[in-house]
Amino acid sequence: MFERITHTNMPPSPIITQRRQIARIIAREGAETLAGRPTGVGVEVLRWLVGPVAHHVAGRFITYDRALGDAGMRDGSAWIVDDATGGLAVHGREHVPANGPLLIVANHPGLSDAVALLAALGRDDAWLVAADYPFLHALRLASRRFLFVSNDRSDRLAAFRRIVSALRSGEIVVVFPAGGLEVDPSLSRDAAVASLATWSRSTELLARLAPDTLVIAAAVHGVVSRSAFDHPLARRRGGLTERQRMATLLQLALPAYRANRVRIRFGLPIAPDDTPDVHSAILTAMRTLIAAP
């Protein structure tokens, strides 16, 4: 469907600039992951060493960005999932309405979780609530459907209003209430459930401010490769989070670790008008979805 980007089939300057920008970000974060610290001479050396791999990976992300921009959120995400993973299994898709305002509340193990959710939802009117990271801004086409949230209070209020506006327009908004990456349930269900304690309660207010909005919990499993997680480089890392971070880096760099099958489970719709505590209802649904085999 989408060919890899080359310098001959698109205007060179914007693509070259974008690829260099993404490659710099990937090289920096990759070096920090390998070194286990954010600064130092070793980090700079590693940055230079991983540069060629980062440049190659950046080319893939430009292709994915183009897929989302040209084909739309539904078809573009489905193509990316087919290209970047071992497939997608969706349970509870019948709970997702074909139209109308919908707030999807999901865990965030990273990598392909967002595109897997978009593909599973099967709607083109989806928005992703995203942290204000340079890498996400560098996805120039896909980021048109991102609702960025920063740490600045006034900016957060503006983002909150944009989310409510999208819901009032009858569209889908996908949020990750943890506010950061979480352990993949396929690696540790206990850690994934424990992370629910950090989830923001703001999703309840969002749903109540947009009439007729339904809330659906979605559990994403399997975006992190178990074989990458068990690689010696990953096993040397202390703690699940750091080990998963190294596994993610291996997946980005090595195609052999991208054959994992992603699973998404949707819960039953939650109607805020009929639910006294939407936040508790979301957490209860997520615990059940994470525990499912």
Q: Where are the beta strands (DSSP E) in 183-281?
A: 214-221, 262-266
pLDDT at residue number 153: 84
Locate 287 and state its tokens. 């615990």
What is the average pLDDT value for the chain, to the nearest integer? 93
pLDDT tens-place string over residues 220-235 = 999 999 999 999 999 9
pLDDT tens-place string over residues 18-74 = 999 999 999 999 999 998 888 888 899 999 999 999 999 999 999 999 999 999 999
pLDDT tens-place string over residues 203-225 = 999 999 999 999 999 999 999 99
CA 69, 72, 77, 80 torsion-angle sign: negative
Q: Provide the β-strand partners of residue 265.
A: 91, 219
- Report the b/e string of 48-69 with b at 16+ CB within 10 A: eebbebbbebbbbbbbbbbbbb
- Report the b/e string of 229-240 with b at 16+ CB within 10 A: bebeebeebeeb
Q: What percent of the chain has pLDDT over 90?
A: 86
Number of residues assigned to the chain: 293
SS (H, E, C) 121-172: HCCCCEEEEEECCHHHHHCCCHHHHEEEECCCHHHHHHHHHHHHHHHHCCCE
Residue position matching structure tokens 């600039």:
17
pLDDT tens-place string over residues 161-194 = 999 999 999 999 999 999 899 999 999 999 999 9
On the question of pLDDT at 111 being above 90, the answer is: no
**Reported confidence tier of residue 156, pLDDT bands at 50, 70, 90:** confident
**Coil, strand or helix: which one is 244?**
helix
For the entire predicted model, the pTM comes to: 0.92
CA 100 to chain centroid, in Å, comes to 23
